[in-house]
Amino acid sequence: MSEPTSRSGERIAKFLARAGVCSRRDAEKLVLAGRVKVNGQILTSPAFNVDDSAFVLVDGKPVAEKPATRLWRYHKPAGLVTTHRDEKGRETVFAHLPKDLPRVISIGRLDINSEGLLLLTNDGALARQLESPALGWLRRYRVRLGGTVDQEMLNTLASGVTVEGVRYGPVEALLEHTRGHNSWAMIGIREGKNREVKKLMGHLGLNVSRLIRISYGPFQLGSLEAGAVAEIPMKVVREQLGGAAPAKDKPRRAARPAR
């Protein structure tokens, strides 16, 4: 019997990832190992689309219904990498999350030495939406700086700068206080490029010895303790996103084969 074909819907790997089965990469491996069936037929290629009417089995078990879209605040401690697997064997954020949390992905990242607010979701579409620079949300950081700094120096970032050929947009920077050779500043950025704050401070000749994200758009770290997780009601998310809120935030009923 030939493999089923479909042009509508979404790729099987994305479908399985959104259903919380595994990552897209692992889903592709499941397909290639012959462990995935769609409407009674074994898939041999991950280049296959499924829609809500498909009946999908993994290792003979029906894929659970798509869970409702959810969003959490997480206080990331320093010393953890924001990845599901680390090739260097370092401790990861996801290995330290509460066991009762479903499979989640991060919205943006914080590097291993950074700490503070990290948003987590079980919906890849929501993650992409909240990461988009088009949303224009400000990310705020409290940053401990080493070196000589004053407000005038920080003001040079207000119109944006180019560092090593990369253009960075306007930055909000406020010097809070200085004690000895260390200063604390509040930095606000909207783009969230890789290691943006550290590169911008390095451009000014300053060393970042501590970086704490305290807000991501309207969502605040607040008094959340290191390592703690708190769910954000989807009503609040919809209010903040307005008409751009994710439409599919209700569970999808598990499909059943036609009789």
204-255 per-position pLDDT tens digit: 999 999 999 999 999 999 999 999 999 999 999 999 988 555 655 444 444 4
Please state, in angstroms and as integers, the Cα–Cα distance from residue 204 to each residue in 94, 177, 186, 197, following that order: 34, 17, 15, 11
pLDDT of residue 253: 44
More confidently predicted of 111 and 25: 111
Please tell me the distance from the alpha carbon of residue 56 to that of residue 23, in angstroms, as a whole number.
Answer: 16
80 pLDDT exceeds 80? yes
151 pLDDT exceeds 70? yes
Which residue intervals of the chain bear CATH 3.10.290.10?
A: 10-62
Which one of 26, 52, 111, 249 is the catalytic residue?
A: 111
Q: Quick one: tokens of 14?
A: 């994305």
Q: pTM of the prediction?
A: 0.76
Which residue intervals of the chain bear CATH 3.30.2350.10?
A: 71-242
User: What average pLDDT does this structure show over 19-26?
Assistant: 81
Please tell me the distance from the alpha carbon of residue 155 to that of residue 125, in angstroms, as a whole number.
Answer: 36
Query: Known catalytic residue: 51?
Result: no
Q: According to the CATH classification, is domain 10-62 in 3.40.1440.10?
A: no
Q: Quick one: tokens of 251?
A: 């569970």
Please tell me the distance from the alpha carbon of residue 171 to that of residue 6, in angstroms, as a whole number.
Answer: 47
CATH superfamily of 71-242: Pseudouridine synthase (3.30.2350.10)
Helix (H), strand (E), coil (C) string for 103-130 = CCEEECCCCCCCEEEEEEECCHHHHHHH
The pLDDT > 90 percentage for the chain reads 62
* Residue whose tokens read 């950025």: 189
Please tell me the distance from the alpha carbon of residue 138 to that of residue 136, in angstroms, as a whole number.
Answer: 6
pLDDT of residue 255: 44
45-75 per-position pLDDT tens digit: 999 998 877 889 999 988 876 778 899 999 9
**CB distance 78 to 113 below 8 Å:** yes
